[in-house]
Amino acid sequence: MYEEENKVYRERQMLRYKLLKDIYEIYFSTNGNGKKVTQDQLKAEENLAYKYLSDLGFIEFEQIIDMEGSDRKYTITAHGINFVEEGKGRRKGDFKKP
């Protein structure tokens, strides 16, 4: 049971790191633009991961509402950039509020 829980925790950590790294890459490859995400298409785990990253101050978001639905544009913060560039997010315990 304990090993199964650890596996779930690790998968969630890796999802958060992957999402943060994607936003980081988009930020630098598009001259500071954010990652547009359609809210209706997000899985629950992804939605919670974005919320967690936002709560920690690693990303910010802007709500975009148009005829096609509701989207969010996620942008990495200076704190998030430092986190990625310092090689964090891949080890247990890396996701902690400073």
Contact 59, 73 (CB under 8 A): no
Fold adopted by 2-85? Arc Repressor Mutant, subunit A (1.10.10)
In degrees and rounded to multiples of 5, residue 88 shows phi and psi of -85, 170
pLDDT value at residue 1:
64
pLDDT tens for 4-61 read: 888 888 899 999 999 999 999 999 999 999 999 988 888 999 999 999 999 999 999 9
Q: At residue 11, what is the residue type? A: E
Is the pLDDT score of 80 beyond 70?
yes
pLDDT value at residue 90:
53
pLDDT value at residue 32:
92
Mean pLDDT, range 50-79, rounded to an integer: 92
Q: Which residue ranges make up each domain of the chain?
A: 2-85
Pairwise pLDDT comparison (79 vs 96), residue with the higher score: 79
> What's the first-to-final CA gap in the chain, in angstroms?
31
